[in-house]
Structure 1
Amino acid sequence: MFPKVHAGMEMKMDDVRIEGSNKTEGNSWEKHLQIFSQKTKGCPGLVWQTMWKVGHDDPRRVIHSLKVGLSLSLVSLLYLAEPLFNGMGQSAIWAVMTVVVVLEFTAGATLCKGLNRGFGTLLAGSLAFFIEYIANESGKVCRAIFIGAAVFLVGAAATYMRFVPYIKKNYDYGVVIFLLTFNLITVSSYRVDNVLKIAHERFYTIAIGCGVCLLMSLLIFPNWSGEDLHHSTVSKLEGLARSIQACVDEYFNDPNLEETGNKSAEDPIYDGYKAVLDSKSIDETLALHASWEPRHSRNCYRFPWQQYVKLGVVLRHFGYTVVALHGCLQTEIQTPRSVRTLFKDPCIRLAGEVSKVLIELADSTRKRCHCSPEILSDHLHEALHDLNKAINSQPRLFLGSNNNQATNMLAIAAAHAEKHQKDQSNGVSLSSVKTDSSALLKWKTKMAAENRPKEAGERKFLRPQLSKIAITSLEFSEALPFAAFASLLVELVAKLDRVIEEVEELGRIACFKEYNNHDEDIVVTCERPRRNVAHNHLPSHGTD
């Protein structure tokens, strides 16, 4: 009887477990469904906001999307319309493929791809027909050998040509299309009798697709790569100006300076110079596409895309100094606010003058006119002199009152670290503390003579503590971070000369309008003497 009762109880317990597991699984599924519904509930609104933001940031994206849709509809008529399909046949689909591949956002990119595809197809077809003409004069076996050898030689030679830097930069896509078309025609000609007709149809449809793309890019709301490169240069100048001004304002005015290290990528200082640092590949691509574009300006001047690339290089070097200036806000050792206040006015004035020059350069570049002769005003020179006077008036902050005091403080810090080590290891305190530099040497010797396993564990804790005590104990350490900040400001002024020279050279090559106070007297010139601006506003050594 007992086993039966026990078996019945086990069956009931199993039922309870099954029901409990089913309830648990049901609850888990309900939780997953609730989480999924909560995540997908706001999905339509998020998608709509993203789509709206993409179009709002650049309305040309909407226009380009409509142009692509219209182009695909036009070339699809070759396949959909019965009369056109009877004339083109199955090859009409190549026109659709050409539009999808060739039609790019800017006219330069479309011209680059379209002409590469067209010339690559034409050259490949001509060479393939020549190979076929020679192969037809031989027997079937010799023909197969000849075609195989031709495919090998042409494929190897074309692939090797792709490694040439000039060809890889300008004609890589055309070489790829050449290889593809040549192999399709040459290999197909061995089995297909009417390969010549198929090649003609494909060439015509590809030409139609490229023609539609070029017409859409050049005639209907064209987007020029040169204009994008021009506007990108203007925005980089303005972004650097905003970064410098915001960085100096935050350094002197932010009461919570220690929290700046936790700023996100939406920091206005970071946003200002980020586009400059990331612009190398973008500038080179836009410049390459601009080199393919026709002279579309009112006066039909050639677009100086190479000079824009040079200016971009100079702006990136200028931006590296702005990055270092921003790094001064995030250092571990900060100059006290009382010390920074002594140099606040000249630093803010100097940063404001540098930003003003960059804004003036951006404005003149946007308007395509030469810079004002007064772009380097006396205010920048005066701000440099004021900063020089302010620094010279506080020599104790940067040099210290006693040279031996710094050494003694370092030795005291080392002795304190040694005492802390003894207290933690065996509880024995030091009887005396040395106040000379031998304390630091003794501490290092004792650390090297200790047990290796303990050394590895203790150094991770003691070394940072020693450096922290030593650095914060030095008298001149409070002013050192500001000295770095001030030197970077002066470095910005020195690098500003190179930026001005490149902008003036750009105006000379691009035939910018001559600056004049009266708009009606503005003239256009292609030659303009370069003004020597190198270091003509920096204070001389030894002057206040």
Structure 2
Amino acid sequence: MQRLSTIILGTALCIITSMLVCPVWAGMELHLLILCNMDNLANSLDSCVAEYFSNGDVDSKKKLHDYKCVLNSKASEESMADFARWEPAHGHFNFRHPWNNYVKIGSSSRSCAYCIETLISCMDTRNQVPETIRKHFSSSCLRLCSCSSNVIRELSTTVSSMTHAAQIDLTTNEMKKAVEDLQNDLKSLPGLLIQSHKEQHKKLELLEVIPLVTFVSLLIELASRIEGGILKTVEELADLAKFKKIKDEMELQKTQDTSKIVDNMEKVIAHQRV
């Protein structure tokens, strides 16, 4: 009986300590994991495109395979979401917080990660593409890459701060414009091949440019997955979790500043009366 009471007391102390003293919430762990995965996606995308067009450095090479963490996190995300549903309200997370939407964001992130994995596999054939053709697409691809990674980072900031990002519409429109520019470059490719043939007196085979066309098409597909996947699921989470709007925060800040000014004035008047 004494042994049983000791076990019960020890278990109760462990539960109280883990909940009150230094709690480890599955919901918070899931929240941080999703943020980390989104940042890893953006890093891998930047590194991949920079390496393909020989603009990479030592740091970018280290981040090239960060996307693999996203591919291997499905089981962790689902188990954390299951545990988080049973947790009480804590921190910024209210009771019945839409944890299932974090799993949806994770699924959309994995879809993008698979696309990045295919992009990286295209790097083995980049030397087959003529240098002139690669330079023609370089600026457009780098711009789309930058816009796409900016959208991912902006969405990560949205989830992290639990506020509607002020710049998300702007960055999304920039990504769409970059996609249109890259598609126009693709349409001009036949004319570029004819011009290169006349200038260099050398016939460029279609097989030589297929690897680059594949790479460009994958970049456009990735932008589509970001917009239709990660962006959509983050917006769903923001609506269900009632993320704060920047406008509301600014009004709250103005109200707080005004109240501080009034308090200071009241103190000054009271001091003068004394």
Q: TM-score range by the shorter chain?
A: 0.7 to 0.9
Q: Paired residue for 2:243?
A: 512
Superimposed CA distance per residue, residues 84-106 of structure 1 (whole angstroms, 9 cap, x where no aligned partner): xxx71xxx2xxxxxxxxxxxxxx
| Structure 1 position 303 matched with structure 2 position 69 | no
Q: Paired residue for 1:365?
A: 159
Distance 1:253 1:298, change over 3 A: closer
Distance 1:303 1:398, change over 3 A: farther
Q: How many angstroms apart in 2 are the aligned matches of 1:514 and 1:278?
A: 33
Q: Indicate if the aligned counterparts of 1:248 and 1:347 stay in contact, CA closer than 8 A.
A: yes
Q: How many angstroms apart in 2 are the aligned matches of 1:252 and 1:517?
A: 43
Q: How many angstroms apart in 2 are the aligned matches of 1:399 and 1:281?
A: 51
Aligned ranges for residues 29-178 of structure 1 at < 5 Å? 88=2, 92=3
309, 325, 333: which one aligns with 2:119: 325
SS where residue 343 of structure 1 aligns? helix
Superimposed CA distance per residue, residues 266-296 of structure 1 (whole angstroms, 9 cap, x where no aligned partner): 731102x011001111111211221221112
Q: Indicate if the aligned counterparts of 1:249 and 1:348 stay in contact, CA closer than 8 A.
A: yes
44, 49, 56: which one aligns with 1:243: 44
Distance 1:332 1:341, change over 3 A: closer
Q: How many angstroms apart in 2 are the aligned matches of 1:391 and 1:337?
A: 16
Aligned ranges for residues 67-466 of structure 1 at < 5 Å? 88=2, 92=3, 202=4, 204-254=5-55, 267-271=62-66, 273-297=67-91, 300-331=94-125, 334-372=128-166, 374-395=169-190
Q: Paired residue for 1:445?
A: none
1:345 is displaced (CA, Å) by 0.8
Q: Indicate if the aligned counterparts of 2:26 and 2:84 stay in contact, CA closer than 8 A.
A: yes
Distance 1:324 1:238, change over 3 A: same
The amino acid across from 1:379 in the alignment is: E
Residue identity (%): 34
Q: Indicate if the aligned counterparts of 1:397 and 1:479 stay in contact, CA closer than 8 A.
A: no
The total of aligned residue pairs comes to: 244
Distance 1:252 1:333, change over 3 A: closer
Q: Indicate if the aligned counterparts of 2:84 and 2:99 stay in contact, CA closer than 8 A.
A: yes
Q: Indicate if the aligned counterparts of 1:370 and 1:515 stay in contact, CA closer than 8 A.
A: yes
Distance 1:380 1:213, change over 3 A: same
Q: Indicate if the aligned counterparts of 1:397 and 1:478 stay in contact, CA closer than 8 A.
A: no
Superimposed CA distance per residue, residues 148-181 of structure 1 (whole angstroms, 9 cap, x where no aligned partner): xxxxxxxxxxxxxxxxxxxxxxxxxxxxxxxxxx
Q: How many angstroms apart in 2 are the aligned matches of 1:276 and 1:303?
A: 23
Q: Indicate if the aligned counterparts of 2:41 and 2:113 stay in contact, CA closer than 8 A.
A: yes
Q: Indicate if the aligned counterparts of 2:42 and 2:152 stay in contact, CA closer than 8 A.
A: yes
Q: How many angstroms apart in 2 are the aligned matches of 1:357 and 1:287?
A: 25
Superimposed CA distance per residue, residues 219-260 of structure 1 (whole angstroms, 9 cap, x where no aligned partner): 11212110111011111111111111111111112599xxxx
The amino acid across from 2:214 in the alignment is: A
SS where residue 302 of structure 1 aligns? coil
Q: How many angstroms apart in 2 are the aligned matches of 1:493 and 1:247?
A: 15
The amino acid across from 2:237 in the alignment is: L
Distance 1:337 1:518, change over 3 A: farther
Distance 1:508 1:301, change over 3 A: farther
212, 216, 224: which one aligns with 1:494: 224
Q: Indicate if the aligned counterparts of 2:88 and 2:95 stay in contact, CA closer than 8 A.
A: no
Q: How many angstroms apart in 1 are the aligned matches of 2:211 and 2:241?
A: 43
Q: Indicate if the aligned counterparts of 2:70 and 2:113 stay in contact, CA closer than 8 A.
A: yes
When Rg is computed on C-alpha atoms for both structures, the one with the higher figure is: 1
Q: How many angstroms apart in 1 are the aligned matches of 2:193 and 2:74?
A: 39
Q: How many angstroms apart in 1 are the aligned matches of 2:75 and 2:224?
A: 27
1:519 is displaced (CA, Å) by 3.1
Q: How many angstroms apart in 1 are the aligned matches of 2:101 and 2:179?
A: 30
Q: How many angstroms apart in 1 are the aligned matches of 2:81 and 2:93?
A: 20
Q: Paired residue for 2:272?
A: none
Q: How many angstroms apart in 1 are the aligned matches of 2:189 and 2:204?
A: 17
Q: Indicate if the aligned counterparts of 2:45 and 2:116 stay in contact, CA closer than 8 A.
A: yes
The amino acid across from 1:506 in the alignment is: L
SS where residue 505 of structure 1 aligns? helix
Q: How many angstroms apart in 2 are the aligned matches of 1:521 and 1:398?
A: 59
The amino acid across from 1:485 in the alignment is: F
Q: Indicate if the aligned counterparts of 2:53 and 2:138 stay in contact, CA closer than 8 A.
A: yes
Q: How many angstroms apart in 2 are the aligned matches of 1:351 and 1:298?
A: 33
Distance 1:377 1:278, change over 3 A: closer
Q: Where in structure 1 are there 5+ consecutive unaligned residues?
A: 1-86, 93-201, 257-262, 402-472, 523-544
